[in-house]
């Protein structure tokens, strides 16, 4: 029996230990690492390259979607299982388009989580208790994306989640920062920030910056209590 190597990432120690205990009981699963925030998660995954990482969506520093995209972009051999306390259909689409192999709520039964890990390690995709191969996943996404989101992409183009830079700009929007402040912080032009904000609003299907910030915060992409007050310059009209 081949062994499945797994890393567990969650910022709540008790929950993280519970997941570790659950999967470690299985003879074919070996937990080779753990982390409590996004940056540490990337370090562990890069160093140990597990077959599967069980990853909380809502993490300090980098959220689960950002980590998933980095794993995919770096072509690491690790498949991502995203766990969330916010079970939302649009979040499923974001997650699977970002490159996750499975998405499930934290109230999943222990035995179902174990089965899910085995499916993912075998190259399958799992959503809502259903198992798909790659072609099946694409068909599922294509059949549901159009009706599930308002305007994530231009007509005729496939659905795209936010890019890493757009996620970075959105994180600063949740802090209440102006375009000028974001441009100075990121070292890019004011117009470039405006372009990113426009793209964010379009992809999320919201009307303004406040709605975009609420959308991200509700889904656990960022955390208000982690945001440090920015040093303000006189605010300009934007």
Q: Where is pLDDT greater, at 210 or 70? A: 70
> Which class is domain 4-145?
alpha beta
* Terminal alpha carbon distance of the chain: 61
Least confident of 9-13, 52-56, 65-69, 214-218: 214-218
Q: What are the pLDDT digits (tens) for 9-62?
A: 999 999 999 999 999 999 999 999 999 999 999 999 999 999 999 999 888 888
User: Residue written as tokens 């072609």?
Assistant: 135
| Confidence at residue 87, expressed as pLDDT on a 0 to 100 scale | 65
pTM of the model: 0.67
Q: Is the CATH number 1.10.10.10 carried by domain 164-226?
A: yes
DSSP SS3 for 16: helix
In whole angstroms, what separates CA 4 from the centre of its chain?
23
Considering only CA atoms, give the Rg of the chain.
Answer: 18
What residue spans in the chain does CATH classification 3.40.50.2300 cover?
4-145
Tell me what the pLDDT averaged over the chain comes to: 83
Does the pLDDT of residue 155 top 80, yes or no?
no
Residues forming CATH 1.10.10.10 domain(s) in the chain:
164-226
6 contact partners, CB below 8 Å, separation of at least 6: 23, 29, 30, 31, 32, 50, 51, 52, 53, 54, 117
Angle between helices 164-173 and 209-218 (to 10 degrees): 100
At how many degrees (to 10) do helices 134-148 and 89-98 cross? Answer: 140
């Amino acid at each position: 029996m081949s062994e499945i190597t797994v890393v567990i990432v969650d910022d709540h120690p008790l929950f993280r230990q519970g997941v570790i205990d659950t999967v470690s009981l299985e003879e074919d699963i070996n937990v080779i690492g753990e982390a409590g925030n996004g940056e540490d998660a990337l370090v562990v995954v890069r160093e140990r390259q597990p077959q599967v990482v069980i990853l909380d969506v809502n993490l300090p520093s980098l959220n689960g979607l950002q980590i998933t995209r980095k794993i995919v972009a770096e072509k690491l051999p690790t498949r991502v299982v995203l766990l969330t306390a916010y079970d939302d259909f649009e979040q499923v689409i974001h997650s699977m388009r970002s490159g996750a192999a499975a998405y499930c709520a934290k109230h999943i039964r222990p035995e179902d989580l174990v089965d899910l890990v085995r499916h993912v390690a075998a190259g399958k995709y799992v959503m809502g208790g259903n198992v798909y191969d790659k072609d099946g996943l694409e068909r599922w996404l294509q059949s549901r994306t159009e009706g599930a989101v308002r305007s994530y992409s231009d007509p005729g183009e496939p659905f795209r989640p936010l890019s890493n830079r757009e996620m970075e700009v959105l994180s600063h929007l949740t802090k209440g920062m102006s375009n000028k402040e974001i441009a100075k912080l990121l070292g890019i032009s004011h117009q470039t920030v405006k372009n990113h904000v426009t793209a964010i609003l379009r992809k999320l299907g919201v009307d303004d910056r406040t709605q975009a910030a609420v959308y991200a915060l509700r889904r656990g992409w960022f955390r208000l209590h982690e945001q440090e007050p920015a040093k303000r310059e006189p605010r300009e009209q934007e």
